[in-house]
Structures are given as C-alpha cells and as structure tokens.
Amino acid sequence: MIFEEKFSVAPMMEWTDRHCRYFHRLLSGSAVLYTEMISADALIFGPRHKLLAFNNEELPCVLQLGGNDPKKLSLAAKFGQSYGYSKINLNIGCPSNRVQNGSFGACLMKKPKVVSECVRAMQDVSQLPITVKCRIGVDDMDEVKGLDNFIDQVSAEGVNLFVIHARKALLNGLSPKQNREIPPLDYSRVGAIKKRRADLKIIINGGIKSIQEGQNLVKQYSLDGFMIGREAYKNPYILSSVDKIVLNQKEKIKTRYQIAMKMADYIDEFVKNDQGNVHSIIRHILGLYNSLPGAKEWRRELSENTRFSKNGDLLRFATDNIEEFIHSKSLILA
C-alpha cells in the first residue's frame, strides 16, 4: 500500500503495542503508526501470533523489525506481509546493550553493506515497501561522510524512505534513555540529507514536542514528514490535532470523553474475548487528561483500581467523574 508518512508515531518498545496503537488511531485517523521493534529471531522462534496480531483499525501500521541476518529478516518480513502490515521498517537506531550484543540496531550504521544485504533480502520476498529508521551517526563516525555514505548505499537497494532521529547514538557508556537525551539534536543535518537526496522521502524525528513544531521543521527543511515518540505517548491528546493541522481535514476533533468511551468499549470487547487484562490497555491512556483539572486524580483512580477491574466500567466511571469536575470548575470560573 502506498501512503505518505506526513506524520507518524514512533516505534517504542513496551509502549506502542496494539492497544496503544488502537488508542492513538482513535485520536488521529491519518497518523502512521509503528509497532514496537520486534526482532527477527522473536518472530521465527517466539510467539509469532501474539507478536504480530493487530486490529485492522490500526492501519496504516508499519512493522518495525530488528536483526542483521538477511535470511532471518526476509522470513520475518514475509510473516509481516502475511499479517497485513502496511510497510516494514528496519531499526538501525536502537542503542541498547541487548541489541548491540546481537549486533543490530544503531551499531549497523557502521555496516551499510550488511544493511543493504538485509533490505535486499527482505525486498526479494515481500511486496511491501522496506524503509529504514536510523540516527545521524554513531560514536565517532564522520557525521557528514558517514551518514551520506550510509544513505547512498542503502538507498541503492531501493529503500526510498528514511526516518532519521536527529542525534548520534553513543554506544559506549550511555544508556538507551541517555541516548535519547544527551547527544545534541541536529535537525539541520537531516535537512542537509534531504537537500542532497531530494529523490528520497526523509522523515525527521527527535525531541519534537508538538504537531505545530513538527510542521515547522518539515517546512523549514522541505522534508516529507515528522515522527513524534515520547510526547505522543505522554500527552496523547496532541494527536487529536494531526488530521486538521497536517492534512487540513475538516472533521470535528473528538473530545477526550468520546475517546475514553470508545476505549471503554474496546476494553469490554477485548476482555470478553479473554485476550488479556484491563491494565494492559488502560496503562497507555493515563495521559489523556494531562494538563486539565482533576487529571492526577483520574490517573490515580485508574492506576489503583485497574487490577481489580474486569471490563470498561472503571474507565467510564472515572471519566464521568473528571468530566463533572472539569464542568464544575468551568462554572466557577465563568
């Protein structure tokens, strides 16, 4: 399926699972959603169906894979295609030790030949577009020549979309969390890649705090789109303005209340089919009312009671309470 990636929510391990993506889809009909990174080994040797199953509502949804073995990655890409994902993205940006020990993720930026072999193998077996998410560099790699060379070699295999996290990954001494904060952001480096390779789709990522800020970067550097990770997860309601700001769509933005009620229905359905517990869904939506009066109490009520909850009623009840509280506050202020 060909579609643009003007706005996407970043792949985030332990965060962007299917429940989180369903929630994000309710907030934006057009955002491109990414899975968490799934290693090729996990798909081959692990609980494949559990890792790949998703709701059609989540589409367009990109399956992100991790690995460095062309054969295994091609098998994993085949699985992804058979489940109906929209594209396959290869993770060349993750700095975690576990990933480094398996010699994949960000350390592969130093091995563009291996990455090329991997994407070629995936392309040979899959009709889905194969894309790459990387950093602007890694360790002491030359920021200009190193990244240019990486992009040139990998795009020569037919990859025409790169998501670039605009900071280097420092593989020795920094934790993954520090690697998302300490190396400085350099958006102009991503802009320079687009300028040099206008034929490629370049998506910028890293430190973007609002939809408007992302739009401004896209405009400033003539990019093809932007991706937001942490801010979208922590303050998910920012996603409600994506369709309007990024795509000029005219539909009315859904209220937080409408979203919460839909999530309550989703919980009922999910639990009825005995597919998991309420907590595994509710944990993703705790930021929905952030910055509004009563948000803390709403979060607490949900977090404290979710383990005893058997359906969506806890969410309905807590949401009725916060809406009533917000309404009473606005009456006082009026």
Ligand X SMILES: Cc1cc2nc3c(=O)[nH]c(=O)nc-3n(C[C@H](O)[C@H](O)[C@H](O)COP(=O)(O)O)c2cc1C
Active site residues: 94
CB of 64 to ligand X, least distance (A): 6
CB of 65 to ligand X, least distance (A): 10
Among 80, 129, 183, 207, binds ligand X (CB under 6 A): 207
Among 37, 136, 204, 238, binds ligand X (CB under 6 A): 37
The yes or no reply on residue 138 touching ligand X (CB under 6 A) is no
Q: Which is nearer to ligand X, 91 or 309 (CB)?
A: 91
Q: Classify residue 253 by burial, with Cβ atoms within 10 Å: 0-12, 13-18, 19+.
A: middle
Token reading at 219: 């405009």
Please give the Cα distance from 283 to 48 (Å, whole number). 23
For ligand X (CB under 6 A), the number of binding residues is 22
The yes or no reply on residue 230 touching ligand X (CB under 6 A) is yes
Please give the Cα distance from 59 to 187 (Å, whole number). 29
CB of 166 to ligand X, least distance (A): 9
Token reading at 216: 């401004």
The yes or no reply on residue 64 touching ligand X (CB under 6 A) is yes
Q: Which is nearer to ligand X, 33 or 271 (CB)?
A: 33
CA 334 to chain centre: 40
The yes or no reply on residue 36 touching ligand X (CB under 6 A) is yes
The yes or no reply on residue 93 touching ligand X (CB under 6 A) is yes
For residue 161, the number of C-alpha atoms closer than 13 Å in the C-beta half-sphere is: 21
In angstroms, the Cα distances linking 175 to 103, 137, 164, 171, 183 are: 16, 16, 19, 8, 12
Judged by DSSP in three states, 204 sits in strand
The yes or no reply on residue 215 touching ligand X (CB under 6 A) is no
The yes or no reply on residue 283 touching ligand X (CB under 6 A) is no
Q: Which is nearer to ligand X, 94 or 128 (CB)?
A: 94
CA 170 to chain centre: 22
Planar angle of CA 278, 233, 263, nearest 5 degrees = 35
Among 6, 11, 60, 81, binds ligand X (CB under 6 A): 11
One symbol per residue from 164 to 203: x for binding ligand X (CB under 6 A), - otherwise; what is it?
-x--------------x-----------------------
The yes or no reply on residue 205 touching ligand X (CB under 6 A) is yes
Q: Which is nearer to ligand X, 28 or 309 (CB)?
A: 28
CB 229 within 8 A of CB 252: no
Closest CA to 67 of 19, 7, 15, 130: 130
List residues near ligand X by CB under 6 A. Answer: 10-13, 15, 36-37, 64, 91, 93-94, 133, 165, 180, 205-208, 228-231
